[in-house]
Amino acid sequence: MRLNTQLPLLLIFLLTLAATNPAQAQEAQPGDPCTAGETDHYRRVGGGAGSEFLGHFIIICDGSTWNLAWGYDNTGNVGIGTITPQTPLHINGGTDAALTGGGYLVTGPTTGLNIVMDDNEIMARNNGAETDLHLQAEGGNLIVHGLQGGATEFVIQDGGNVGIGTLSPAGKLDVKDSFYTGNGTIRIRSQGAPKEGGELTLLGAGSSNDWNIDNFDGLFRLHHDGASYVEITPSGNVGIGTFSPAGKLDVNGSIAQSGSIIHASDKRLKMNITKVHDALSKVIALEGVSFEWKKPEDQFMKGRQFGILAQEVQKVLPSLVHVRDDEMKTLTVDYRGLSAYFIEAFKELKAQNEALKKLVCPDHPDAAICNE
């Protein structure tokens, strides 16, 4: 349905008829009483004289009271339901627009395609049923401005690009806002459930290929086919394969990397530096084991694995064991911290070896230890 703003020919004909019947000019005004015999077909032309002249308006008797129908004022403005039209066509009064009737103004037959308008609504109908409303179907861009003709708020180009805050969208959706407004340029509302925030779905090319980005109870989540893969907590911790990252990056699974992992170790960044003592006895108390994961997260965790047990490390070096904030209170080990004990343990072995040489080599110079 396309909006047609031409004034109906019938309205022009009736206005002309009223203007050519000065004999009906009487003093009766809208709201004045009338008799039951003066039925709807009887019309009177109202209006005063001199400075009080308003124009020519048709009033209709409903059996007891004269009611204003329509007319035109001394400037040529046409009023329907008002004796003070403010524009070339001013309609006052009607009912709420609905599919089956109502409205202030209808264009087109009610038994076919038509458009109905009331004081705050435009609706396209087709014989009492809904239909499409076309705006600028064969014209240029559709531009929506802000309050009182302010800055451009919304534009749909004839090529289909949508711009919010810009007249020149570079893609199907282009949003422009001032730098850091505090509320975000695009806001996606909650889904309604207690912990479910906004969600954005990126559709895939086939089945089970969709990715979702959402806010669940304050967690930023990236998930696929019901499984969450990446989560960011409000404190900035990033979890891959875990719902409760214990550090800035917490990975539940294997990490495959081809380059180096570099740790900050500058002495100038550290304080309260002390040497590790009794390293050898602590390392000897640990036990290297091989094992298999009960629930391997990826192919690199399958098969026999090698390492140590966090519960055993906790007995000897509790400061190197951390407890995750998950349902199991899973224990994790700081393997980088273990390296300090390994280094000092090797030094202690070296010192013991040198002491042993001093005892053995003078009497047994051919011993293997004396020739290292």
Residues 75 and 150 in one domain: no
- Tell which of 39, 58, 92 closes a domain: 92
CB 210 within 8 A of CB 197: no
Distance CA 30, CA 92 (A): 14
> Is 21 among the domain residues?
yes
How is residue 39 annotated by DSSP? Answer: -
If pLDDT is split at 50, 70 and 90, which confidence band does 47 have? Answer: very low
> Is 171 among the domain residues?
yes
CB 225 within 8 A of CB 208: yes
Beta strands in 237-318 (DSSP E): 238-240, 249-251, 289-291, 305-307
Is the pLDDT at 13 greater than 50? The verdict is no
If DSSP codes are grouped into helix, strand and coil, which group holds residue 224?
Answer: strand
CB 154 within 8 A of CB 143: yes
Residues 224 and 292 in one domain: no
CB 319 within 8 A of CB 338: no
Distance CA 301, CA 323 (A): 21
> Is 344 among the domain residues?
yes
Residues 25 and 75 in one domain: yes
Residues 342 and 275 in one domain: yes
Residues 223 and 279 in one domain: no
pLDDT digits (tens, 9 = 90+) for 186-195: 777 777 777 7
Residues 168 and 213 in one domain: no
If pLDDT is split at 50, 70 and 90, which confidence band does 367 have? Answer: confident
Distance CA 369, CA 357 (A): 7
> Is 113 among the domain residues?
no
> Is 360 among the domain residues?
no
pLDDT digits (tens, 9 = 90+) for 204-260: 887 778 888 888 888 888 988 777 789 999 999 999 988 788 889 888 888 888 888
Phi then psi for residue 269, to 5 deg, are -95, 0
For the chain, what percent of residues have pLDDT higher than 70?
A: 84
What letter represents residue 51's amino acid?
S
Both structure tokens of 269: 């960044």
Residues 30 and 83 in one domain: yes
The average pLDDT across 348-354 equals 92
CB-based burial, 60-74: b 16+ in 10 Å, e otherwise: bbeeeebbbbbbbbe
Residue 173: closest CA among 159, 190, 152, 184:
159
Q: Is 98 left (phi over 0), alpha (psi -120 to 50) or beta?
A: beta
Is the pLDDT at 24 greater than 80? The verdict is no
Instruction: Map tokens 């214990």 to a residue.
Output: 246
Distance CA 36, CA 65 (A): 9
What residues contact 214, with CB distance under 8 A and at least 6 apart?
Answer: 196, 197, 198, 199, 200, 220, 221, 223
Both structure tokens of 175: 């949003």
Range of the domain at 173: 136-179
Distance CA 343, CA 265 (A): 16
> Is 105 among the domain residues?
no
Q: What is the pLDDT of residue 218?
A: 86
Helices (H) and strands (E) in the chain, counts: 4, 25
pLDDT digits (tens, 9 = 90+) for 266-288: 999 999 999 999 999 999 999 99
Is the pLDDT at 179 greater than 50? The verdict is yes
Distance CA 293, CA 313 (A): 18
Distance CA 243, CA 232 (A): 9
Helix H or strand E encompassing 283: helix 279-285
Residues 172 and 237 in one domain: no
Q: What is the pLDDT of residue 318?
A: 95
Which long-range contacts (C-beta less than 8 Å, at least 24 apart) are formed by 339-342?
Answer: 340/276, 340/279, 341/276, 341/279, 341/282, 341/283, 341/317, 342/279, 342/283
What residues contact 10, with CB distance under 8 A and at least 6 apart?
Answer: none
Phi then psi for residue 199, to 5 deg, are -140, 140
Is the pLDDT at 330 greater than 80? The verdict is yes
User: Looking at the 3D structure of the chain, how many domains does it have?
Assistant: 4
Residues 13 and 86 in one domain: yes
> Is 101 among the domain residues?
no
pLDDT digits (tens, 9 = 90+) for 149-175: 566 678 888 888 998 888 888 888 888
Distance CA 178, CA 165 (A): 9
Both structure tokens of 178: 């001032």
Residues 235 and 288 in one domain: no
Which long-range contacts (C-beta less than 8 Å, at least 24 apart) are formed by 87-92?
Answer: 89/7
246: Cα within 13 Å, side-chain hemisphere: 15
pLDDT digits (tens, 9 = 90+) for 93-118: 889 999 999 999 999 999 999 999 99
Better-predicted residue by pLDDT, 121 or 138? 121
> Is 371 among the domain residues?
no
